Amino acid sequence: MLLKLLKERLKPYKNLLAAVVVFQFIGVVAMLYLPSLNADIIDKGVAVGDTSYIIRTGAMMLGVTLLQVVCSVSAVWFGARTSMSLGRDLRTALFQRVGTFSTREVQEFGAPSLITRGTNDVTQVQMLVLMACTIAVSAPIMMVGGVFMALREDFGLGWILAIVVPALFLSVGLVVSQMVPNFRKMQARIDEVNRVLREQITGIRVVRAFVRERHEAGRFGHANDELTDVAVRAGRWLATMFPLVMLVVNVSSVAVIWFGGHRVDNGQMQIGALTAFLSYLMQILMSVMMATFMLMMVPRASVCGDRITEVLDTHTSVPPPEDPELPDPERRGWLDLEDVTFSYPGAESPVLSDVTFSARPGQTVAVIGSTGAGKSTLVNLVPRLFDATTGVVSVGGSDVRRVEPEALWAQIGLVPQKAYLFSGTIRSNLLHGKPDATEDEIWAALETAQARDFVEALADGLDASVNQGGTNFSGGQRQRLAIARALIRRPGIYLFDDSFSALDLATDARLRAALRPITTDATTIIVAQRVTTIMDADLILVLEDGRVVGRGTHQELLEDCTTYQEIVTSQMTAEEAA
């Protein structure tokens, strides 16, 4: 999976990679040439006392060294540019792919895991590419060239290389094979730590309200300990690698000096050649050590590459239509659901079953029912946050699965159950609804949403800062700002998913009164828990276990819908209900 990912994503940078290979090749060849020049100085210059030869050869060594430095710096520069560009492209690809996901895919992966894959996992792959450009290219050239040059100096000691190099590869291969499963577990444990930490930070007020600090500390401690245990196991195998490599290096060096010394004493080898052979042996083993250092990164990067590929290969369950169509402008605001059923994959029973209703501009349709009845799911089907399992959801006379996504979303103003605000300012949040909105349009939307008073009271007004999630505002203020964000775009269909729950009754009544003239040419769908919010709706749908058990006006349902009667009785007196 990692190789496939790199093969696809590095195609645009083949010229940079070619430059890396060229500079690494020239630099390594220059490095391999140095011990031979040094041997010549010892055996030819020093032995006969030829000072001019020593100076000429030394100057050549300086020139070769300078060439090697220039090539190495150039190779690292091109390699760094390639790896950083790859990291940028992977993060962009992940962000764009996650942006196409429906709620289902986001829930399957989990937000903490997606964040880890887009940050930590990409960094691991990026660092592997950087090390590959600086090490993986030069190490094989250095190893093969070193063997050739060492045998050129003295073939009699070649048997040492035949033993040392395979022994080094076998020992490194054993360690790496044990590291892979531990690194795979480690990434999963990082996801778990991120999930627990995110939950605790997000829900800190709930934790403190119920005095659960010790319990949450225990949860985090358990996740942290599991990550530590896996990291320690991986670290132990990692720690054995360098001692193994150094053991082989030291034993081989002693062997070369011992057996090479005997060959020099017997006149079969010169001192300069022995020095060069030892240098080449060190270069060979250093190339193996460098490759080993990179191999230490391969197991973890391989796991990260698999996780990145898993996201990139996942396709949304709400794919865009192959031959998109536009809603009929004459039917702007038309909403129809025909025998709609929705089930989660693997679920025993559907969330919604055989839901059918129609709504037209100027109408208000309310949906009420107990928790888990499927109210929010019904609303989410309209903008295609989910796709119906069976049946048809139509907007503007067209099946939403065949409508061009941008055209569909332009028809809809959604206020979700959780009023989420983005970090920035009040102005920037409202402009999410309509980027080219004027100052007057912004204030008009705030006034309708009953938010103008508290925004004007802020020192910076529309430019007042908003924390991530809008945590510096109360629940009611967040809801009103979210409502204003939907109102500012003046869509054909308004979807209010329990969007008035944090408002007091007086503000709720004022807001609904202000909405009436605004929504006369639009369809309004309201999901609510409070009966007072939906009493004036043109049509009320009563959901129970995903099925419509009652439909009609408030008075009609009071007469013939037992479930609605129970809801009303639990909230209102008989006089209020009438």
Contact 253, 282 (CB under 8 A): yes
pTM: 0.73
Asked if pLDDT for residue 574 goes beyond 50, the answer is no
**% the chain with pLDDT above 70:** 97
Asked if pLDDT for residue 575 goes beyond 50, the answer is no
Contact 125, 118 (CB under 8 A): no
For all residues of the chain together, what is the average pLDDT? 84
Give CA–CA dist 578/574, Å, rounded. 6
Q: Which of 341, 289, 364 is nearest to 518 (CA)?
A: 364
Asked if pLDDT for residue 172 goes beyond 80, the answer is no
Question: Class for domain 324-411+492-578, per CATH?
Answer: alpha beta
What the block records as the tokens of 450 is 């009953």
Q: Which CATH number is 418-490 given?
A: 3.40.50.300
Would 2-187+233-312 and 418-490 be classified into the same CATH topology?
no
Give CA–CA dist 209/203, Å, rounded. 10
Average pLDDT for 312-331: 86
Express each pLDDT in 230-273 by its tens digit.
Answer: 888 888 887 887 788 788 878 888 888 888 888 777 777 777 77
**Confidence band of 48 (pLDDT split at 50, 70, 90):** low
**End-to-end CA gap in the chain:** 66
Among 64-73, 75-84, 319-328, 567-576, the range scoring the smallest mean pLDDT is 567-576
Average pLDDT for 69-85: 91
Average pLDDT for 97-101: 88
Average pLDDT for 92-106: 87
CA distances from 510 to 123, 282, 368, 565 (A): 52, 83, 21, 26
Give CA–CA dist 44/321, Å, rounded. 79
Asked if pLDDT for residue 567 goes beyond 90, the answer is no
Asked if pLDDT for residue 47 goes beyond 90, the answer is no
**pLDDT at residue number 116:** 84
Asked if pLDDT for residue 578 goes beyond 60, the answer is no
Residue 421 carries which DSSP code? -
Strand partners, 493: 412, 523
- Which sequence spans correspond to the domains of the chain? 2-187+233-312, 324-411+492-578, 418-490
**Confidence band of 45 (pLDDT split at 50, 70, 90):** low
Q: Which of 72, 86, 69, 76 is nearest to 6 (CA)?
A: 86
Mention every residue, 6+ apart, whose C-beta is less than 8 A from residue 17: 10, 78, 82, 133
Asked if pLDDT for residue 573 goes beyond 60, the answer is no
Count Cα neighbours of 29 within 13 Å in the Cβ-side half-sphere.
7
Express each pLDDT in 532-544 by its tens digit.
Answer: 888 888 999 999 8
**pLDDT at residue number 87:** 92
Express each pLDDT in 385-414 by its tens digit.
Answer: 888 889 999 998 899 999 898 888 888 998
**pLDDT at residue number 148:** 81
Q: Which helix (H) or strand (E) holds 243?
A: helix 213-265
**pLDDT at residue number 43:** 65
Strand partners, 552: 540
Contact 117, 311 (CB under 8 A): yes
Three-state SS sequence of 466-526: ECHHHCCCCHHHHHHHHHHHHHCCCCCEEEEECCCCCCCHHHHHHHHHHHHHHCCCCEEEE
The packing angle between helices 271-312 and 2-9, to 10°, is: 90
Express each pLDDT in 111-165 by its tens digit.
Answer: 878 888 898 889 989 998 988 888 878 888 888 888 888 887 778 787 888 888 7
- CATH classification of 2-187+233-312 is 1.20.1560.10, yes or no? yes
Q: Which of 38-42, 554-558, 572-576 has the highest mean pLDDT?
A: 554-558
3 state DSSP class of 405: helix
> How many distinct helices (H) and strands (E) make up the chain?
23, 12
| Sign of the CA dihedral with 471 first, then 475, 479, and 484 last | negative
